[in-house]
């Protein structure tokens, strides 16, 4: 066969079946009193080559070798040519011809089946890759295994919303192609950043980008990871603006809202799967973003309680948020000086990593 791995159980079953038919042929020959030269198992064994699970080249070798050996041995004794012998020789020739035809066509069918199996395997791999791009790895595996994903309540997770300030105005200034290319560049970099901090991208809606930490797998550092990623996103957008400063192109200003709390997570939809989250904590994060300050990371008190030992934070006080009343908000200024490289508050130093790892081990 062309398939790399043979199914040994099928091969054993075929060998058992061939042995059974060979014995049956010999028994019938003996009971009928026929001439073994005319009714024998040799012809049957030749026919087995047409269906044997062997590579084609081996089948051809066995066919030619066995028939040549048969002719040499048979005629080495100068046998008398009788009618029975003549029938036997003609039958053996017919078997070889039929066998050759069968080997040819079965090899074609096996090759065709092998090509189809390769195509199916590649398509399956593509589907799996696509599913993994849409859903988190554990969720995709659960969906493939059971056909559905059970909703899970996470007692503590951190969700982040980002939004570009004045995007509607920017979309009126830039042509559609330039606008989409710029947004695509931004979001691709956001993807790299959240992957760096092992966070989960949830979705984009227009110019809004949403990600979370602490799901689908629970962990104890999700709030810190989410804030670190948010800070890097803000720095990236600022860097992009520096590149176009002085040009006619408009600058892109970003707001970021971060909240930590309990939330439900699961997969919705049938044709277009989406891994999404629900809960009041999600709504609060959205309000933190819309009530935020451009170019800053705006966090809730629940997030502050977790990350306060790692970051320099300013308390904004109680800020009115749509449909939520007043919310206590904080602005992240950067990593604490003693925990950052060169005291700049941008990159974590070894002490930061030690504290981070101590929390991660809990």
119 and 154 share one domain: no
pTM higher than the cut 0.75: no
Beta strands per DSSP E along 182-228: 200-205, 208-213
Whether 335 maps to a domain, the answer reads: yes
In a domain, 142, yes or no: no
Query: Are residues 109 and 20 part of one domain?
Result: yes
Summarize pLDDT for 318-343 with one digit per residue, the tens: 998 888 889 999 999 999 999 999 88
pLDDT of residue 165: 94
- Look at the chain and report how many structural domains it folds into: 2
**pLDDT score recorded for residue 39:** 44
130 & 219 share domain: no
Which of 101, 134, 167 is a domain's end point?
134
Radius of gyration, CA atoms only, the chain:
37
| Residue 141 falls inside a structural domain | no
Could you tell me if residue 49 is inside a domain? yes
Residues 190 and 20: their CA atoms lie apart, in Å, by: 67
Residues 235 and 298 grouped into a single domain: yes
pLDDT at 2: 42
Do 255 and 295 lie in one domain? The reply is: yes
Which of 104, 134, 164 delimits the end of a domain? 134
The half-sphere exposure of 216 on its side-chain side, counting CA atoms within 13 A, is: 18
Residue ending a domain, among 89, 104, 134, is: 134
CATH number for position 346: 3.30.70.1230
Is residue 71 domain-shared with residue 209, that is, in the same domain?
no
Q: What percent of the chain has pLDDT over 90?
A: 47
Residue 139 inside a domain? The answer is: no
Residue pair 237/252 in contact (Cβ under 8 Å)? The answer is yes
Task: Give the pLDDT score at 6.
Answer: 47
**113 lies in the same domain as 233:** no
Does 284 fall in a domain?
Answer: yes
Rounded to the nearest 10°, the torsion over CA 130, 132, 134, 139 is 140
Q: What is the mean pLDDT of residues 283-300?
A: 95
Domain that holds residue 28: 8-134
């Amino acid at each position: 066969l062309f398939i790399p791995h043979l199914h040994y159980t099928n091969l054993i079953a075929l060998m058992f079946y061939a042995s059974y038919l060979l014995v049956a042929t010999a028994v019938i020959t003996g009971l009928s009193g026929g001439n073994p030269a005319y009714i024998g198992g040799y012809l049957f064994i030749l026919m087995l080559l047409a269906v044997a699970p062997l590579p084609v080249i081996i089948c051809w070798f066995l066919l030619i070798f066995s028939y040549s050996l048969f002719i040499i041995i048979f005629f080495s004794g100068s046998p008398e040519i009788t009618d029975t012998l003549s029938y036997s020789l003609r039958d053996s020739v017919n078997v070889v011809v039929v066998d050759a035809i069968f080997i040819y066509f079965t090899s074609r069918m096996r090759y065709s089946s092998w090509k189809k199996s390769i195509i199916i395997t590649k398509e399956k791999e593509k589907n799996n890759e696509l599913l993994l791009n849409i859903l988190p790895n554990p969720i995709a595996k659960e969906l493939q295994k059971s056909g559905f994903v059970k909703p899970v309540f996470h007692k503590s997770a951190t969700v982040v919303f980002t939004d570009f300030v004045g995007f509607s105005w920017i979309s009126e200034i830039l042509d559609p192609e330039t606008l989409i290319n710029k947004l695509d560049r931004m979001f691709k970099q956001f993807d790299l950043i959240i992957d760096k901090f092992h966070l989960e991208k949830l979705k984009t809606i227009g110019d809004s980008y949403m990600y979370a930490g602490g799901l689908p797998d629970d962990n104890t550092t999700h709030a810190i990871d989410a804030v670190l990623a948010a800070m890097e996103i803000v720095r990236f957008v600022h860097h992009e603006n520096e590149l176009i400063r002085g040009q006619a192109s408009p600058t892109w200003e970003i707001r970021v809202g971060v909240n930590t709390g309990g939330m439900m997570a699961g997969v919705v939809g049938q044709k277009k799967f989406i891994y999404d989250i629900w809960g009041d904590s999600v709504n609060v994060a959205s309000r933190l973003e819309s009530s935020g300050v451009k170019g800053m990371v705006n966090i809730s008190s629940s997030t502050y309680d977790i990350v306060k030992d790692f970051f320099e934070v300013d308390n904004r006080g109680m800020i009115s948020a749509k449909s939520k009343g007043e919310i206590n908000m904080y602005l992240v200024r950067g990593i604490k000086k003693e925990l950052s490289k060169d005291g700049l508050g941008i990159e974590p130093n070894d002490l930061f990593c030690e504290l981070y790892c101590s929390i991660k081990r809990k």
